Amino acid sequence: MYLIDKKNQPYWLTLTLVAILLQSCASKKPTVGFDKNKIPAPPQYADLKYWAAHPDKKDPADLVPIGTDLKDEQATAEVDIFFLHPTTYTNQRGNDQWNGDVNSQKLNDKTDKGSIQYQASLFNGVGRVYAPRYRQAHYFSFFTTDKASAEQAFEVAYEDIRAAFEHYLKNWNAGRPIIIAAHSQGTKHAGRLLKEFFDDKPLKNRLVVAYIVGLPVPKNTFKTIPVCDNPNQTGCFCSWRTFKTGYEPKFPTSREIAVVNPLSMTTEETYVSDEKHKGGVLIGFKKTNERLTDAQIHNGILWVRKPKFKGSLLYRSSNYHAGDFNIFYINVREDTKRRVSLFWKR
């Protein structure tokens, strides 16, 4: 399924949500088929430079939003976060390479200043954050008619993620509980990772929760990992895709797609007012005011009122994919703490 519909294709968050709105949506797409001889060199996960975030290095996942009293609690955390970032490979050398180069400083900076800072940092209040760099598939892979090339590119990306997770388990996890978190392309790979390592496997007993956001995830994706129906549940997964209230996507959707309302953390389709919104993180990595938006589940997607922020008048798209996590930054951060507490009680 498509990442977002072709009518609304904002770039992934680089520095701020507004930055996306002001960028052109043009992307230098691959013009030749997948060529295994042009795949960039694989990452070596024993070397911390191949981790966008890691507890043993200083990185943007250690940050907390400006003007808040939030704290980075990784040093004392008893839980691990394995975070998979979304697509940031949209133009660099995209005319002949389907996979991003993990040694590209430009690409890594884009990932770090965007997803790692604005999304992965959300989890530093409850766990140690591990986020591997991987040879991500080009953005165009979600839209191309060359499905064979796209699938090979996605396979290369997942091979890296599997290798990173296996290295993490062997060298750093030490039996600790795990939260899986991902957005967009990261969610595509996280679903596969959950199936391979957790679903109906012994490691399922260490899964606190999974936040796999930004792509449609069917409710019956997993055998033993259910959708989180309520905020007091563990060993389950949360997912949503955010759109402006009233918008009906052009791509197929249905009530069989899992949607958890991040304001109520339930699957109930009843409207949840902005009274439940505790703050997002948008411009300049600053916490927004509370009551930024409301939310309601609708036919496999999440409807929200258009958030107001500096520059929001320029944002004409009804697709809020770029802000799936950080619009609800404080709500999700608090949800992680509650579920970790319940996991220990369990």
DSSP string, 318-334: SB-GGGTTGGGHHHHHH
CB 329 within 8 A of CB 124: no
**DSSP code, position 306:** P
Task: Please state, rounded to an integer, the average pLDDT across all residues of the chain.
Answer: 91
Phi, psi of 136, deg, nearest 5: -60, 145
Return the pLDDT at 220. 97
Q: What does the DSSP assignment read for 22-51?
A: HS--------S---GGGPPPPP-TTSGGGE
All residues at 6 or more sequence positions from 199 whose CB lies less than 8 Å from its CB, including other chains: 222, 223, 224, 225
**Residue scoring higher pLDDT (216 or 19):** 216
Between CA 228 and CA 251 the distance in angstroms is: 25
Residue 81 confidence (pLDDT)? 98
Q: What is the pLDDT of residue 11?
A: 31
Over range 133-149, report the average pLDDT: 95
For the record, the structure tokens of 118 come out as: 């604005």
pLDDT bracket for residue 31 (50, 70, 90)? confident
The set of residues, in sequence order, having a beta carbon less than 8 Å from that of 297 and lying 6+ positions away, is: 259, 261, 267, 268, 269, 303
Q: Above 80 in pLDDT, residue 115?
A: yes
Please check the confidence at residue 16 and state whether its pLDDT lies above 90: no
Q: Which of 90-104, 282-296, 318-332 has the lowest mean pLDDT?
A: 90-104
pLDDT of 94 reads 58
d(CA 122, CA 120): 5
What confidence tier does 27 reach under pLDDT thresholds 50, 70, 90?
low
Q: What is the pLDDT of residue 71?
A: 97
Average pLDDT for residues 152-159, to the nearest whole number? 98
For the segment 294-300, the average pLDDT, to the nearest whole number, is 97
Is the per-residue pLDDT at 65 higher than 90?
A: yes
The yes-or-no verdict on residue 151 having pLDDT over 90 is: yes
Mean pLDDT confidence for 5-29? 39
- Helix, coil or strand: residue 184: coil
DSSP letter for each residue of 195-250: HHHTTTSGGGGGEEEEEEESS--BTTS-SS--B--STT--SEEE---EEETT---S
Q: Which residue has the tokens 């520059």?
A: 311
Closest CA to 178 of 198, 192, 163: 198
pLDDT at residue 1 tops 60:
no
Q: Which amino acid is at 9?
A: Q
The domains of the chain are located at 17-345
Instruction: Evaluate if residue 304 carries a pLDDT over 70.
Output: yes
Q: What pairs with residue 74 in β-bridges?
A: none
pLDDT at 250: 86
Please write the tens of the pLDDT for every residue from 222-252: 999 999 999 999 999 999 999 999 999 888 8
| Stronger pLDDT, 24 or 42, i.e. the higher one | 42
19 to 9, 24, 99, 253: CA distances (angstroms): 14, 10, 24, 28
Least confident of 150-159, 166-175, 177-186, 304-313: 304-313
Do 157 and 134 meet the contact criterion of CB atoms below 8 Å apart?
A: yes
322 contacts 10 by C-beta, under 8 angstroms: yes
How far apart, in whole angstroms, are the C-alpha atoms of residue 343 and residue 106? 39
Cβ(183)–Cβ(214) under 8 Å? yes
Query: Of all residues in the chain, what percent carry a pLDDT higher than 70?
Result: 91
Name, in order, each residue with C-beta under 8 angstroms of 201's C-beta and a sequence gap of 6 or more: none
Stretch 172-184: mean pLDDT, rounded?
Answer: 98
Q: Is the pLDDT of residue 328 over 80?
A: yes
Alpha-carbon span 6 to 17, nearest angstrom: 19
The residue-averaged pLDDT of 91-114 equals 89
Please say if the pLDDT value at position 323 is more than 90.
Answer: yes
pLDDT band for position 91 (cuts 50, 70, 90): confident
Spatial neighbors of 151 by CB under 8 A, at least 6 apart, are none
pLDDT at site 315: 84
Q: 303: part of which helix (H) or strand (E)? A: strand 301-304
pLDDT band at 92 (very low <50, low <70, confident <90, very high): low
